[in-house]
Amino acid sequence: MIATIALFALAARAQAGPVFRLNSRQEMGGHNHGGGAEAKSGGGMGMGGFDITNPTISNMISNALYYGAILMPKIPVNKTETLKPQSSVPGAKRVRLYYGPMLLESAAYKLKIPNKIGLDPQGNTWYSQAANFPTDISVLASKINVADINGKPLGVKDGVYNHHTVVADAQKAPNAFVACPGKSAAGSVPVAILASAGEEGGQYKFTTDDPKFSGGYYLGKGDRVALFAEIVNYANTTRDVYTTLDMEYVEGKTQYEVSAEAISVTQCDGTSIGLKPAAGQMKFGAVSKEMTIQMDGVLFGSRGHLHDGGDYLKVIVNGKEICTSQPEYFGKAGDAKWDTIKEMTTCKDPIPVKKGDKLVIDAGYDLNKHPARSHLDGNTAEEMGVLNVQFARLRDTK
């Protein structure tokens, strides 16, 4: 039950985009962040009707994680390396934590005995606690990889497919930073993510580029940290891998408490996160309902998550456009008729917001401008419009 709910959280976030960067395989037809290195087969789990933007479901997931984590087995830290900090924030430290060894069964074994607790029948799945995680710290930035014992990241070319690896705070409910019209405020994500990666690797930043800005994600003293992973081994030999977490942090609390948020254009619609255009429609989009920001703070690092065919994602505060995140496409290769998103631009500048401010997200698709493979195939791909953004809230001083 607990594993199932945690799985739901993961699967749901797979749908929500690259904050988790899950590269959920059922959507691969038209969805390729990594630029072609991904496997093209495999059965994903259909989560179509599941609505993580529903406050009740979101709360249920964070509660399940809170209590469930107590029962999860611990993955030990095999070694810790001290690295040179990359930011000039006073007091910043940087470490690389090696979690593992994590044993990957062979591909042949998984053919005989498929994985039943994950998202991929070929996957090796962990729902665990990260042992001896540093706490009473504020995380400034994180980056996660599946690696060998020397810290060399492993990928598809090495016969290893990192379906997802996620480090999350199991102790604190996610920040309830927006409310939908007529509804109580809810977390924009079901669990508070500290780091996560799919195939292309992922980086998180919990502070701005300004070293004088005192912000970070605070992990309370002794807080439990969950480590979820699903890794596919394409080789017919077992192997040991490690989840490496590069983490930059300062001791104690920062002035601003920063959380990673993901808000869908469908946030207030009570539907699943996918946008389904009518067949043959080339230009379409969705505008969210007006959400109310629940506390004074600062928004920074706004970046859209769109699928192929996407044209823009706009962030509008009190009727004023504060950010337009645009995709950069790879460009059509050879005689291919489709194009695929390479990355989305980020609006780095901090935007101060006040309690009561109104937030709207507007996502647009244009398949004439950006032909998507899934549409050429005649499939109705599920599109989405999600804003990934950091919200920094001034810490309560009382």
Ligand X SMILES: *[C@@H]1O[C@H](CO)[C@@H](O)[C@H](O)[C@H]1NC(C)=O
Residues that bind ligand X (CB under 6 A): 76, 78, 101, 107-108, 111, 149, 236, 240
Degrees to nearest 5, angle at CA 54 with 62 and 20? 55
The CB-of-105 to ligand X minimum distance in angstroms stands at 12
Q: Which is nearer to ligand X, 105 or 349 (CB)?
A: 105
Distances (CA, A) of 9 to 13, 189, 211: 6, 9, 33
In sequence order, which residues have a C-beta less than 8 Å from that of residue 335 and are 6 or more positions away? none
Minimum CB distance to ligand X smaller for 106 or for 271 = 106
Nearest approach, Cβ of 284 to ligand X (angstroms)? 42
How far apart are CB 233 and ligand X at their closest, in Å?
10
Residue with Cβ nearer ligand X (63 or 80): 80
Q: Count other Cβ atoms within 10 Å, centred on residue 77.
A: 18
Nearest to 255 by CA among 196, 195, 210, 188: 210
Nearer to ligand X, 68 or 123 (CB): 123
Per-residue DSSP letter, 156: G
CB nearer to ligand X: give 152 or 283.
Answer: 152
Output the smallest distance, CB 39 to ligand X, in A. Answer: 13
> Based on CB atoms, which residue is closest to ligand X, 238 or 281?
238
Q: Minimal distance in Å, beta carbon 82 to ligand X? A: 17
Beta-strand pair 123-130/225-233: antiparallel
Give the C-alpha separation, 33 to 21, whole Å: 8
Question: Residue 46 is encoded by which pair of tokens?
Answer: 């259909």
Structure tokens at 124: 């090796």
Cα–Cα nearest to 128, from 93, 76, 188: 76
- Shortest Å, Cβ 59 to ligand X: 37
Residue of minimal CB distance from ligand X?
A: 108
Smallest gap, in angstroms, from Cβ of residue 103 to ligand X? 9
Nearer to ligand X, 100 or 216 (CB): 100
Quick one: 389 exposed, middle or buried, by C-beta within 10 A (0-12, 13-18, 19+)? buried
